[in-house]
Amino acid sequence: MHLIVGLGNIGEKYELTRHNVGFMVIDEMTKNLSTTNINKSNFHSTLLKSGYNLYSKPTTYMNNSGQAVFAIKEYYKLDLENIIVIHDDLDLPFGAVKFKIGGGHGGHNGLRSCDAHMGQDYIRIRIGIGKPQNKSDVANYVLDNFSKEELNKLKDIIPHTIDAINALIKGEELTVVKSKFTLK
C-alpha cells in the first residue's frame, strides 16, 4: 500500500495557486480512478482509496500537513518508503520535476510539518514553481495563482508527474524513476 499526498491549502481561493500544485496532481490522478472516500475525522484529510493505494489532500492547511499524513501513516501502519509527498519547490525553475528521499525542508512549511511528525525519509516529488524576483515576496508568490501560460504548461507536467508516481507504485526503484522522469 502506498500513500500519495499532495500538499496544498483547502478552499476555492487557493485552488490554482503555486502552493497547491500537489493538490492539482492528486485531483488529476484520481479523477478517472474508481475510488472510495474514507471519512475519519482524525485524518484531517480528503482521503481516497483506490485498489491498495491511498490519495490524500490534507485539510489542515499547508503549515500543519504533517498532522494529517502522520495520522494516516499510523492508522495504516505504513513505512515511510511507501509515502510519496508531492509539493511545490521555489528552488527549482518552473516546470522542473525532481525526486528524492529525505533531506531538509528548505523553508517549505508543509515539509517542515511532515518532517516534525514522522521524520524525513519519505519520497518527495518536487515540482518547480520558480522564485519571485524579491525574496520578501515569497509568501505572496506561492499564494498567487499560476499564470495562464504556466497552467498551460502544467497540462504536460502533471501527467508526467503522475506517470512517475505510477512507476513508483508499481515498484520501480527511485534511481530508475529519477533517470526516466526528472525534468530540468
Is residue 19 annotated as part of the catalytic site, yes or no?
Answer: yes
Residues 97 and 161: beta-carbon distance below 8 Å: yes
The values of phi and psi at residue 157, to 5°, are -70, -45
Apex CA 123: angle with CA 19 and CA 39, to 5°?
70
Query: Exposed, middle or buried: residue 39 (CB in 10 Å: 0-12, 13-18, 19+)?
Result: exposed
Q: Please state, as a whole number, how many other Cβ atoms lie within 10 Å of the Cβ of residue 84.
A: 21
Q: How far is CA 141 from CA 39, 103, 135, 144, 147, in A?
A: 33, 24, 10, 5, 11
Q: Strand, coil or helix: what is 125?
A: strand
Residues 180 and 167: beta-carbon distance below 8 Å: yes
Q: Which of 2, 19, 87, 108 is catalytic?
A: 19
Catalytically active residues, by annotation: 19
